[in-house]
Amino acid sequence: MSRVGKNPVPVPAGVSASVVGSLLTVKGKLGSLTMPISGDVSTTVEDGKIVVAPRTESRRARTLWGTTRANAANMVKGVSEGFTKNLEIQGVGFKAAVEGKDLVLSLGFSHPIRFPIPEGVSIKCDRPTAVAISGFDRQKVGQVAAVIRGMKKPEPYKGKGVRYSDETIIRKEGKKK
């Protein structure tokens, strides 16, 4: 069984964390994040560290212990450094471009797809086949990347589609004569 929750989350300089009631708030140079805390765990900020402990020995309290600690660590990292997901687009004529507050994707359909960029997330296209999604909320960055990837998932025969930059697609052999 993992004991992730035992490790306190260090709060770096330039980041402030506070617990008010059942709400954890972390503020940093990139933004501010809040998270509700379950009644099964207790969270305190002491000596520049966020400490999470279960209130009881129930199964729910022990599972929320590690989850709350991991979410707090993601919040601290997000407001201090931020998160980035990189996508690659492969296929003849497949490309992406940022126009104003929209990401315009040409993915082989009869029309280009206009994806509105949500608040708190920034998208850059250094090349027409590379998309970098960054922001301070890990969940939101991952969700936007998953939605964009879901518009044209990579297929196993030619590898065409949108994939994560570190993703490997297992290729299949085509028809034989």
> Is residue 144 within 8 Å of residue 133, measured between CB atoms?
yes
pLDDT computed for residue 95 by the predictor:
92
> Is residue 24 within 8 Å of residue 34, measured between CB atoms?
yes
pTM, rounded to two decimals: 0.85
pLDDT computed for residue 108 by the predictor:
87
pLDDT computed for residue 1 by the predictor:
53
Q: Of the candidates 92, 35, 41, which has an alpha carbon nearest to the alpha carbon of residue 63?
A: 41
pLDDT computed for residue 131 by the predictor:
93
Helix locations, the chain, DSSP H:
59-80, 138-150
Query: Over the chain (177 residues), what is each successive 10-residue block's mean pLDDT?
Result: 80 89 90 89 89 89 89 92 93 90 91 92 92 93 93 90 90 85
Q: Of the candidates 46, 4, 40, 47, which has an alpha carbon nearest to the alpha carbon of residue 22?
A: 40
pLDDT computed for residue 91 by the predictor:
86
Domains of the chain: 4-80 (3.90.930.12), 83-164 (3.90.930.12)
Q: Hey, how many other C-beta atoms are within 10 angstroms of the C-beta on 150?
A: 9
Residue with tokens 């850059």: 124
Helix locations, 9-58, DSSP H:
none
pLDDT in tens, 101-144: 999 999 988 999 999 999 989 999 999 999 999 999 999 999 99
pLDDT computed for residue 2 by the predictor:
63
> Is residue 159 within 8 Å of residue 171, measured between CB atoms?
yes
Beta bridge partners of 163: 88
Token output for 105: 């994707």
